[in-house]
Amino acid sequence: MKTFLPKQGEIEQKWWVVDATDLVLGRLAVKIADTIRGKNKPTFTPHLDCGDFVVVINAGKVKVTGRKEVQKIYQDYSGYMGGLKERPLATIRARQPERLIRQAVWGMMPKGRLGRAQFRKLKIYAGPEHPHEAQQPETFPY
């Protein structure tokens, strides 16, 4: 018996659209990370980019559980002394709602060239419109 390894030309990549309205952030991020890596496919190969494209709409309406809205802190460090900025989740949601999903999914991706290439297949939009209608994305199954 031989192990099946798909060739780069044999990998079929689909487009999915996800409406993040009232979905829990962490659970959504796991599904997205698995999809853009290709772990939900039977032909998953860890060293190949065999995942699908994911378009997330309504990123600002994602839900968090517990008291994370006020207690969860996002940190940015410029590299200089005194350059640490700390902001609560509510502030990030008001200014950059896409960043919530982007950081949650990035934390679940492998770090390196392949992980960065796979992460580029994630498109996030704060509102209900997106410019990827030409790719005819399907609704994400749950």
Determine the pLDDT at residue 4: 84
CATH number at residue 48: 3.90.1180.10
Determine the pLDDT at residue 34: 97
pLDDT band at 38 (very low <50, low <70, confident <90, very high): very high
For the segment 44-54, the average pLDDT, to the nearest whole number, is: 94
Spatial separation of the C-alpha atoms in residues 95 and 90, rounded to whole Å: 9
Q: Which domain holds residue 134?
A: 13-65+97-139
**What is each CA distance from 125 to 19, 51, 55, 92, 101, in whole angstroms?**
10, 20, 8, 14, 10
**More confidently predicted of 54 and 9:** 54
**Residue 26 included in any domain:** yes
pTM: 0.92
Mean pLDDT for the chain overall: 95
Spatial separation of the C-alpha atoms in residues 76 and 125, rounded to whole Å: 22
Which residues have C-beta within 8 Å of that of residue 103, sequence separation ≥ 6?
74
Total domain count for the chain?
1
Judge whether residue 2 has pLDDT over 90: no
**Residue 110 included in any domain:** yes
Spatial separation of the C-alpha atoms in residues 102 and 7, rounded to whole Å: 29
Using one digit for the tens of pLDDT, what is the confidence trace for 85-138? 999 999 999 999 999 999 999 999 999 999 999 999 999 999 999 999 999 999
Phi, psi angle pair for 24, to nearest 5° = -70, 130
Using one digit for the tens of pLDDT, what is the confidence trace for 50-74? 999 999 999 999 999 999 999 999 9
**Residue 128 included in any domain:** yes
**Residue 4 included in any domain:** no
Using one digit for the tens of pLDDT, what is the confidence trace for 82-96? 999 999 999 999 999
**Residue 84 included in any domain:** no
**Residue 28 included in any domain:** yes
